Structure 1
Amino acid sequence: MTGRRALLVGTLGAAAIPAPVRAQGRPPCVGPGDVAGIVLDGSGAAAGSIVTFGLAFAPGQVPRGAGLAARLAGQGPLPAQLDVVTRHRDGSARFGVVALAAPGLRRGEPAVILFTASQTRPPPLDAPALLQARHAVMEVGPPGGQPWRCDLLALASRSPGTGQGVWQAGPLAVQSRVTQAVPPAALGGITSMRLVADVTLQADGVLRVDAWLRNDIAMQRGGGRAQYDMRLLLDNRIALKAEGVSQPLYTGWGRAVTARPSGGPAPDPPHVRHDAERLADLGAIARYDRSIPVADRVLEEFGAAVAAPAWAVPLGARGITQYMPMTGGRPDIGPTTLSQAAWLISSDRRAAAYAMGQAEAAGSVPWHFWDPAADGWLDTRRWPMLWTDPRGRAPPRGLLIQVPTDTGWSTDLAHQPDLSYVPYLLTGRRAFLDGLQAQAARSVMDYWPEQRGSPDRPGPGEGFNLFRDNQVRGTAWSLRQLGGSRWATPEGDRHLAWVAAAEDGNWAWARSRIPAWTAEQGEAHGWCPPADNDDGRLYPWQQDMLASTAAAAARRGHADARAVLAWMENFIAGRFLAGDRGFNPRDGCAYALAYAPPQRNSRPHGNWARIGADTVARGWSNGGGWGSSAGYYGSWALQSLSAMIDVLGSEKARRAYAWLEAAAPPATRPESYRTDPTLSIVPRGRPRVPGAVPACVR
């Protein structure tokens, strides 16, 4: 499945990641006139080194046509560039890629950088002139044979600063995308390989190439496993090399490498520390608890993994669970992954390197289906009844070439991790957006068409329906992918209209079902019906998973998702407040509840007392302890209550949160969150350790 040998030069995965200054999670002190701020941790790079990252904004902060001005806190201005990727409804910037000429900082030395909106828009670099003396060539060929050569700069320089392939175009950085089909002769006749490279020229003279070999072309004959050697040469130096790569169909792998004019890879730029609290205020992420630092040993394990030789091997899993149907408390399942949560809370460069490495490794999961006729990811517009499962058989209801069974991966919608959204949000790296979009499209195409419905059928969500007869957690994680992809996708991208329709249709369908579900569920209403009713069993933690996704969509302004979340409040909060109605509040986070009699397709009990009594009768109750809540079920409940307090201002959720926090079920004490911060989510102004929130840096 992987290459025998790999040499990576100038990449984050090639060397040990040094520990930062002990300032976990300290954000910048942002003044009233500033639109954003970051903290840089020095790497020893020279003044003027360009660092690139993603930045989100509130509506109106950066109006259409405006750019960014940057300054070193307490000192003078710094050159900065903003390339807007997405906009709010008023036309102001919502998310953009920022390039900054960093000050000279010693390794580990912090510096606060503050940003304001600016009407000054300097012209972009003269890329053609600066590229004349540079070289970037990709070579791909059969092992030991004559390679195919692709001159990346010749292709990138044809239209620098213009066209849909451009990602950055300013005075500090110009980035263009190069896409080429790899000739079958270079791959033993395989027709499914694309070369996708994002080529960036920076004002500091650094040439950066984010090169990917994507063996993902679907619905075309001749696709299959590709066997090859490859080299990427920057300025006639081998920057990336892999021999004996054996790459399955529907996968991709890539690395970002650099070269400076004097030769050799560029030094690492300063590390960017983002303000997670501000990102939560903007609705971009959940509100993570900064009062509980990530355990040192967790960060050390991240650093050791990134420094290990296995990390650099093409198509490696990098700690991602390859058998995704595996159940249990996994570090990659949640609103985001453990390493991404650790990155947001700690700002530690080791967590960042690990999370970014896993976002790269997401390319090796065989869920990338590129439709060459549409020049985009496979979706229901051209293939309304297609199913990427092998049971879909032949087109138009199945793939022309089925997903191979010898990849080492087993995917599952109900256990899919979100490996790309947060890394894309914090870095603005376009390859991570590719991964996010591919997974979102697959989240629909891998669901049985008879259940997701036909677009010809009347009613909301038909053709996209991920609620109907699905595991609730499968609905939650598929909608999580759709929502993140929609938020991140630029205007004009072919993927946007489809993913928006898919997300909108699902939440509209769920909202339309609220009256019927309420009537069926009675006073305990507020839960999404499970996929089947074999024995009347309801898993409350799966409802918490769905609530986390509804809250994420509601934070981004989705009215139907907000309505669904508000309806769920009656169950999510009420299960901890129904003690006077005959229901044990400790069972609110039990593994399972008896919502109906054990006979197949029984009607729901309809009130808390019957649910409580039947749960006790079947031996599922916690009684006076937590025997049925071993694991992370209490922390799942706390995060969904936190979201309802934050998004809805729910007083009912506040009371339930206070009770559950005081009751302290397993995995909800600070020491648990130190080693697994995946669900370390709190309401605004309610840290678990008051007084321990890190002060901002001036």
Structure 2
Amino acid sequence: MPATDTAIELQRQRTTPPGQDKTTTTDTSTSTSTSTSTSTSTTTTTAPIATAPFSCAAGAITCIEVASTSSQAQASLPVTFGQPFKAGDWLHTTQGLVAQVGGATIPLQADEISSHRDGSARFAVLSAQLSNVQPGEARIINIFPGAKTSSTPNVPASPDWNLELEAQVFDANGNVTATLIAQPQTQLVNQIASNTGRRLAGAVASEYTVALPFKDKASGTQHPHLTARLHTRLVDNGQRIRTDVVMENTRTWTANPGNITYSFAVKRNGSTIYTQPKFTHYHHARWHKVLWTGALAEPQARVRHNMPYFMASKAVWNYDLNVKIAETTLAKDYATLTQARTDQAALGPMGNGLLEKYFPMTGSRSDIGPYPRWTANYLVSQDDRARETMMSVADSAASVPVHYRDEDTGYPLDLDRYPNVSITPEWSTPVLPTVVNGTTIWTPDIAHQASFAYVPYLITGDAFYLDEMMFWTAWNAAVPNPTYRGGGQGLAKDNQIRGQAWAMRALGETVRSLPDNHPRKSYFSGRLGINLDWYAKQYPLNPSAASLYPLNALPKPDEPHLVGPWQSDFFGMVFAQLAENAEPNAKLVLDWASKFNIGRFNSEADGFCTARAAGYYWTIVNAQSAPYTTWRDLYQANYPGEVCSSVTTIDGYPNWAGGYAAGARAMMASAANAGVTNASATYTKWRSLTQAMDQDFATDPTFAIVPR
């Protein structure tokens, strides 16, 4: 059956804005040394980083700032980061990249390249090598196009890695039932020799993904579910090794999946370098921990992107960089994160951190919007605390039981192999194994799903977050009833309109992020194309569209006599982003939907008052179930007898950064950036009517999107 809004869904989804009667209800839903480091969710800020804007050199494509956070000089400082590119800026098939600091060329390599539709680079994982960096020193690395060259890896045949992973498994009574071990050294050596499983390859950094199961220490029997994926990055000729230790309980088809309670330790050459006390690892969930080992200490630095260029790449929505996030907001978020870690210590890596465990929950929702508020905070400020908070949210999302890895392919569950599979057992053919001992703190859904890992991947280039995107996107496709999603097509249409928006957002993010040569690139690209083709045929190309949807309103799937304008605004934001990235049919669908989204703010002369345009739910059909064909009829059906001259207030909380009015502004700006007719002028008009909102963006920039 189509997704439904329950009675509670019709209640308030965010906190009541300042000065608003708290009984009022609404739903915006927007709303020979070894060093170790924690996973990003538990990294402690050690030193301030400069927040002043910085400029790139003339002729550079873009630049980044690398700031030392060490109290010691660093003779060698390798950094790896993600970098989006504007279409046409780097023709990577014929050009290389050159990195310069103060006019001097430094080593740079580019990996994991994803291309725009014109063939130029859209995104790459870059690795650069700095030398003799002084304590607290910040350097600007300018990136230029240059001659195409090769970067030869320098990797030891048998690196001084020698990790051993050990898990002690407990039963329900607290008794140890098994000691499991995983010893990856031999596999890494084999992969180096055979040049397999490598995602980064160059003079600065080489990274291998070493995946292996755990085995019983006594019997050698392989554990059916617990596995490790070690993203192993060798820098400085292997004298430093960064290992992102990813622990997975994600198998799809192995019998009896369920929660596993264990303690965990990582040893190197027999010495313990990390321990995790006993906790319960949820079924179909993951967690990770970053460890640095080797003869040299962990590099100490932070990277800041040239954010105007980052925005101009169209990889993300165009946030207003003139917004200054309030210090009180940054400090409060960080204090809340710190407290959450303390409160959830007993939960171990499966804690929810700042995330709402029950996704359909009403109330304050900093995760709902084009990006979560924490992500918007970071994009606008690049503050260290905002970065750490954003990354912690991405890590918390890994503990949600939506991670289904196909044992046969090694990738998330896909609908090519299983077109009629569903995570919901009663709908699935074949049926997934029954989960035993499977109680978790989570209730995920699509309608309230955030963009968790996309921006974290864009700024870090870490494989963990790329995998996260694939897992969530695959789950979105596999949850609905195959009958309604078109079987293997994986159509998003069976969700609420906001759920359709978020599912399409996840698809777009995954497609844009996956490298051109990734084995799953064509699969996810295909699903995005199938969905966009469906929307085009259902709406703008549908010969019956004019009679079915005369005002181009997207009906509520489970109650087609209603439209939720605020949900349509979400849909418009996502399709605008897809259109800006030249996805076929996205602009066609966006133009069609914008006749309602933009039109309702410009139809006062036709009887629809602009002050009511940021609405909640409206009836769109008459008593005979025939759709209203004029703006005047639509208005009178929902505001009977009202004339515009009598409307003295603007709906949608015009002074609040988290209301429908704010979502409408973000929709208009997004549409303007995608070239929708009259969207820019409508944004200007609506902004003039909602000026107080600008000040509130300093506390919540979730919808602070502006025309480019």
TM-score where L is the length of structure 2: 0.86
Cα distance in 2 between the residues matched to 1:136 and 1:644: 51
Moved more, 621-630 or 373-382: 621-630
1:567 and 2:601 matched? no
Moved more, 235-244 or 360-369: 235-244
Q: Which amino acid in 1 is paired with 2:150?
A: R
Cα distance in 2 between the residues matched to 1:161 and 1:321: 45
1:31 deviation in Å? 2.3
1:296 deviation in Å? 1.1
Cα distance in 1 between the residues matched to 2:573 and 2:337: 30
Deviations 1:279-323 (A, max 9, x none): 232221100100011111222234335555537731111211110
What's 2:291 paired with? 257
1:670 and 2:698 matched? no
Q: What pairs up with 1:156-305 in 2 under 5 angstroms?
A: 156-160=188-192, 163=195, 165-183=197-215, 191-203=224-236, 205-234=239-268, 236-261=270-295, 266-267=298-299, 269-305=300-336
Q: Is the 8 A contact 2:257 2:434 kept in 1?
A: yes
1:516 deviation in Å? 4.6
Q: Is the 8 A contact 2:337 2:389 kept in 1?
A: yes
What's 1:346 paired with? 381
What's 2:611 paired with? 586
Query: Aligned pair in 2 of structure 1 residues 335, 135: CA closer, same or farther (>3 Å)?
Result: same
2:186 to 151, 154, 162: 154
1:71 and 2:100 matched? yes
Cα distance in 2 between the residues matched to 1:569 and 1:95: 29
Cα distance in 2 between the residues matched to 1:683 and 1:249: 43
- Overall identity of the aligned pairs, in %: 25
SS in 2 for 1:213: strand
SS in 2 for 1:256: strand
SS in 2 for 1:678: coil
Query: Aligned pair in 2 of structure 1 residues 46, 445: CA closer, same or farther (>3 Å)?
Result: same
SS in 2 for 1:196: strand
What's 2:51 paired with? 23
1:155 deviation in Å? 1.4
Moved more, 199-208 or 621-630: 621-630
1:29 deviation in Å? 2.4
Query: Aligned pair in 2 of structure 1 residues 13, 540: CA closer, same or farther (>3 Å)?
Result: closer
Query: Aligned pair in 2 of structure 1 residues 403, 530: CA closer, same or farther (>3 Å)?
Result: farther
Cα distance in 2 between the residues matched to 1:543 and 1:329: 21
Unaligned 5+ segments in structure 2 are 1-34, 171-175
How many residues in Structure 1 have an aligned counterpart in Structure 2? 652
Query: Aligned pair in 2 of structure 1 residues 454, 23: CA closer, same or farther (>3 Å)?
Result: closer
Q: Which amino acid in 1 is paired with 2:66?
A: L
Cα distance in 2 between the residues matched to 1:304 and 1:104: 35
1:359 deviation in Å? 1.6
What's 1:602 paired with? 625
1:537 deviation in Å? 2.4
Q: What pairs up with 1:265-414 in 2 under 5 angstroms?
A: 266-267=298-299, 269-305=300-336, 307=338, 309-310=341-342, 313-328=348-363, 330-392=365-427, 395-396=429-430, 398-402=431-435, 406-414=439-447
1:153 deviation in Å? 3.0
Query: Aligned pair in 2 of structure 1 residues 196, 344: CA closer, same or farther (>3 Å)?
Result: same
1:556 to 578, 581, 584: 581
What's 1:125 paired with? 154
Cα distance in 2 between the residues matched to 1:434 and 1:293: 32
1:506 deviation in Å? 0.9
1:54 deviation in Å? 0.5
Query: Aligned pair in 2 of structure 1 residues 10, 619: CA closer, same or farther (>3 Å)?
Result: farther
1:109 deviation in Å? 4.1
Query: Aligned pair in 2 of structure 1 residues 222, 425: CA closer, same or farther (>3 Å)?
Result: same
Q: Which amino acid in 2 is paired with 1:559?
A: P
Q: Is the 8 A contact 2:181 2:215 kept in 1?
A: no
SS in 2 for 1:98: strand
Query: Aligned pair in 2 of structure 1 residues 111, 235: CA closer, same or farther (>3 Å)?
Result: farther
Cα distance in 2 between the residues matched to 1:331 and 1:164: 41
1:196 deviation in Å? 0.8
SS in 1 for 2:98: strand
SS in 2 for 1:277: helix
1:528 and 2:562 matched? no
Query: Aligned pair in 2 of structure 1 residues 673, 235: CA closer, same or farther (>3 Å)?
Result: farther
Cα distance in 2 between the residues matched to 1:316 and 1:485: 25
1:452 deviation in Å? 0.7
Cα distance in 2 between the residues matched to 1:570 and 1:334: 22
Q: Is the 8 A contact 1:59 1:92 kept in 2?
A: yes
Q: Which amino acid in 2 is paired with 1:279?
A: F
Cα distance in 2 between the residues matched to 1:13 and 1:234: 23
Unaligned 5+ segments in structure 1 are 1-7, 456-462, 685-698
Cα distance in 2 between the residues matched to 1:605 and 1:473: 23
1:65 deviation in Å? 6.0
Q: Is the 8 A contact 1:192 1:218 kept in 2?
A: no
Cα distance in 1 between the residues matched to 2:94 and 2:196: 18
Cα distance in 1 between the residues matched to 2:76 and 2:479: 47
Deviations 1:236-278 (A, max 9, x none): 543321121211211111111112415xx625x3211112322
Q: Is the 8 A contact 2:401 2:442 kept in 1?
A: yes
Question: CA RMSD of the aligned region, Å?
Answer: 2.8
Cα distance in 1 between the residues matched to 2:469 and 2:519: 14
1:561 deviation in Å? 0.8
Q: Which amino acid in 2 is paired with 1:497?
A: S
Q: What pairs up with 1:428-443 in 2 under 5 angstroms?
A: 428-443=461-476
What's 2:19 paired with? none
What's 1:612 paired with? 635
Q: Which amino acid in 1 is paired with 2:166?
A: E
Q: Is the 8 A contact 2:550 2:628 kept in 1?
A: no
SS in 2 for 1:478: helix
1:16 deviation in Å? 3.1
Q: Which amino acid in 2 is paired with 1:98?
A: L
Q: Is the 8 A contact 2:227 2:247 kept in 1?
A: yes
Q: Which amino acid in 1 is paired with 2:108?
A: A
Cα distance in 2 between the residues matched to 1:404 and 1:492: 39
Cα distance in 2 between the residues matched to 1:80 and 1:70: 6
Q: Which amino acid in 2 is paired with 1:447?
A: P
Q: Which amino acid in 2 is paired with 1:208?
A: R
What's 1:49 paired with? 77
Q: Is the 8 A contact 1:299 1:351 kept in 2?
A: yes
SS in 2 for 1:636: helix
What's 1:691 paired with? none
Deviations 1:559-600 (A, max 9, x none): 211111111221111111100000011111022223223x5x
Q: Is the 8 A contact 1:473 1:542 kept in 2?
A: yes
Q: Is the 8 A contact 1:576 1:585 kept in 2?
A: yes
Q: Which amino acid in 1 is paired with 2:155?
A: D
1:85 and 2:113 matched? yes
TM-score where L is the length of structure 1: 0.87
2:527 to 496, 502, 514: 502
Cα distance in 2 between the residues matched to 1:19 and 1:664: 38
Cα distance in 2 between the residues matched to 1:441 and 1:184: 31
Cα distance in 2 between the residues matched to 1:37 and 1:570: 39
Cα distance in 2 between the residues matched to 1:343 and 1:510: 33
Cα distance in 2 between the residues matched to 1:371 and 1:14: 30
